[in-house]
Amino acid sequence: MNKQRDFVLVYINGKRREIRGQQAFLTLSDYLRLELQLRGTKVVCAEGDCGACTVLSGPVTADMKSTDVDYQAINACIVLMHSLDCSQLISIEGLNQIYPERLHPVQKSMLDCHGSQCGFCTPGIVMAVAGMLEVPAKLTEKNARNYLTGNLCRCTGYQQIIDAVVNTDISDYKAAKTHFHSDSIHAELVTAAQTPVSVHYKDNSFIAATDISATLDCLQSQQENTDVPQIFAAATDLGVQISKGHLARQNALSLHLLPALYEFKITPEHCSIGARVTLTQLRSRIKQQQAEFSDFLNIFASPQIKNNATLVGNIANGSPIGDTLPFLMVMDAIIVIQGSQGIRRCNINKLYSGYRQLELAASEIITHVEIPHKADGAELKLYKVSQRRDLDISCVSAAFKVQFDQHNILIDAAIAYGGVAATVLRLTAVETMLKGLHRDEFSSPEKCQEIAASIGSSLNPLSDVRGSDNFRNTLIENLYKKFIHEQKAEQIAGVCDEN
């Protein structure tokens, strides 16, 4: 094993940076603006919502080829410098290095199409579009809107910005990756990714081992000293707490140097997703096996968040409004947990004991989640109700899965609701009521109304800023009715297609 590092290694706009001491515990936006005086990266919300702080990030792992490195947009305001270890970073100032004699094509198009007014949000918009071109995505209005969902601050108005994206001249476009990511830089970052790291400043610490056994040893050692570490995968939620000053001390045990946690595997029974697989990666890789879930991820946060956040992080966070949890519960996903005593598997429906309380020992970490393939003929619907369609917190979410046999008898049902209690709830009693029904009775208006009322009466939702208990009760019943309506409409459409 290589000697332990006492610094975080990053490249920013092509320049090598060893980050030590206090700087390792800053947000990227603070480091850029205060330490490097690169103030083109703006900060408005400081919680990953507005997109003004957007930069490009290209993380490198221990076994990654140079051609596999992806440069994607992330929020600089909620990502910590230590969590960017072994990454290449590009800020708005870096675009000038690619085109030193003239404006970057995105900047020129924003100017030509009058896409900027005060200009404060413009750098983040430019970087989001630059990330779109790195993919590369076609310059269509639909793609422009999709890739800009994480940029809420648009004082000029939407259409001029969309026009700027669609009309960007890419005839001589030079990708940031091609310009900045050389073989020598990649080799150095790979070597760093194979080397453990430990950085300390006052009572803050950042530790990352290169294998799971050593990671568990670090976890056990710190707990024996009554110092419970924060497990960092992507930490998009922890990043908000730190950025807002709600978490003054950082005691981070990072998973970013563990190659096994970047794995995505498909077996005959399930998809296995490692703790470091991002939601963006998951969305594309799981499309064939779980199309409904892949499509549902389109309205999970913004591209900037999905490019960094992970599915396992959403599970470990344990929020009752976690968008992925209802789906995972109706699919009976298996959570793979590893600790000093070995590996164990837990059905996600048995994982939560209370509000953000997991049946997880202090010396254990979640390494993977296994999502069983949907059975042939099973019908799945996922819903999320929020004030905005994109980039918003759920008020109520729901997942419904049913399966009928060849005689149109319902043989399996699974229903889960989020945003109605301290944890996401699986409605097993209602599922039992549905099993054995013929499809015609199951879809009948009378039975639909009866079951919807039963669901409403069985839940006692809370009231908060996103909705009252009465509002949630109405949503709970109406989402079930919507499921029945859509399921019936698809059945009719299928019959018409056969004829």
- State which of 254, 287, 322 marks the end of a domain: 254
Q: Is residue 209 located within the same domain as residue 340?
A: no
Per-residue pLDDT tens digits for 462-496: 888 888 999 999 999 999 999 999 988 887 766 55
> What domain range is 136 assigned to?
100-173
Judge whether residue 226 has pLDDT over 80: no
Q: Specify which residues 366 forms β-bridges with.
A: 337
Q: Tell me whether residue 3 is in a domain.
A: no
Judge whether residue 102 has pLDDT over 60: yes
Per-residue pLDDT tens digits for 71-92: 999 999 999 999 999 999 999 9
Q: Is residue 385 located within the same domain as residue 345?
A: yes
**Among 25-39, 120-134, 187-201, 222-236, which stretch is predicted with the lowest mean pLDDT?**
222-236
Residue 287 contacts residue 325 (beta carbons within 8 Å): no
The reported pLDDT for the residue numbered 209 is 96
pTM: 0.93
Q: Is residue 215 located within the same domain as residue 296?
A: no
Q: Specify which residues 417 forms β-bridges with.
A: 398, 425
- At 4, phi and psi to the nearest 5? -65, 140
Q: How many residues does the chain have?
A: 499
Q: Is residue 416 located within the same domain as residue 494?
A: yes
Per-residue pLDDT tens digits for 268-324: 999 999 999 999 999 999 999 999 999 999 988 899 999 999 999 999 999 999 999
pLDDT-above-70 percentage for the chain: 98
**Among 203-212, 228-237, 276-285, 294-303, which stretch is predicted with the lowest mean pLDDT?**
228-237
Q: Is residue 73 located within the same domain as residue 37?
A: yes
Domain containing residue 206: CATH number: 3.10.20.30
The reported pLDDT for the residue numbered 493 is 66
Q: What tokens were used for 257?
A: 């140097």
Q: Tell me whether residue 1 is in a domain.
A: no
Domain containing residue 436: CATH number: 3.30.465.10
Q: Is residue 195 located within the same domain as residue 278?
A: no
The reported pLDDT for the residue numbered 488 is 84
Q: Is residue 401 located within the same domain as residue 450?
A: yes
Q: Is residue 65 located within the same domain as residue 118?
A: no
Residue 208 contacts residue 197 (beta carbons within 8 Å): yes
Q: Is residue 140 located within the same domain as residue 73?
A: no
Per-residue pLDDT tens digits for 314-359: 999 999 999 999 999 999 999 999 998 899 999 999 999 999 999 9
Residue 348 contacts residue 334 (beta carbons within 8 Å): yes
**Among 2-6, 387-391, 480-484, which stretch is predicted with the lowest mean pLDDT?**
387-391
Q: Mind giving me the DSSP string for 51-106?
A: -TTEEEEEE--TT--GGG---EEEETTS-BGGGGTTEEEE-GGGHHHHSTTS--HH
The reported pLDDT for the residue numbered 1 is 47
- State which of 173, 197, 230 marks the end of a domain: 173
What is the average pLDDT score of the chain?
93
Q: Is residue 87 located within the same domain as residue 26?
A: yes
Q: Which amino acid, one-letter code, is at 173?
A: Y
Q: Tell me whether residue 148 is in a domain.
A: yes
Interhelix angle for 158-166 vs 105-112, to 10°? Answer: 130
Please give the Cα distance from 387 to 383 (Å, whole number).
13
Domain containing residue 112: CATH number: 1.10.150.120
Mean pLDDT within 86-99: 96
**Structural domain count, the chain:** 3
The reported pLDDT for the residue numbered 3 is 86
**Among 60-74, 143-157, 337-351, 418-432, which stretch is predicted with the lowest mean pLDDT?**
143-157
Please give the Cα distance from 450 to 45 (Å, whole number).
45
Q: Tell me whether residue 2 is in a domain.
A: no
The reported pLDDT for the residue numbered 489 is 84
- State which of 223, 254, 285 marks the end of a domain: 254
Q: Tell me whether residue 464 is in a domain.
A: yes
Q: Is residue 280 located within the same domain as residue 427?
A: yes
